[in-house]
Amino acid sequence: MGAALEAHVAACRRYGYDWELANALQLRANMRANRSDLAERASADAEESLEIFVRLGDAWGAAESLSARAEARSGGSNSRAPPRTTPTPSRTRNGSAPSPRWPCCAPGTPTC
């Protein structure tokens, strides 16, 4: 996949396909972000991708680029930070046991 993606990035640059280039850079940044030895390159790809998406007015692309940049800067999903957990309530508003799929059913939650 690495060689194909490199060729895709090069072709997008050569032929001037801006959106496709930004998308390929964002994808490459995501792939590299989870490796500490490639984090700097991932961050650079995410930055370039973000610049292009902002220039093109693509909010989705900009958001994805920001996410890839944050992952690269934080060390990716392999970082030492403990996973976030959502506390499970003992009962829902109607008194029944909560569904493990719907942790939003905690007492005091406006919607369930």
Q: Taking residues 70-94, what's their average pLDDT? A: 60
Please report the pLDDT score of residue 36 as a whole number: 85
| pLDDT of 51 higher than 70 | yes
Q: What angle do CA 40, 24, 34 make, to 5 degrees?
A: 40
Please report the pLDDT score of residue 81 as a whole number: 47
pTM of the model: 0.66
Q: Taking residues 13-21, what's their average pLDDT? A: 97
Please report the pLDDT score of residue 5 as a whole number: 92
Please report the pLDDT score of residue 12 as a whole number: 96
| pLDDT of 39 higher than 70 | yes
Are 71 and 34 a contacting pair, CB within 8 Å? Answer: yes
Are 50 and 69 a contacting pair, CB within 8 Å? Answer: yes
| pLDDT of 46 higher than 50 | yes
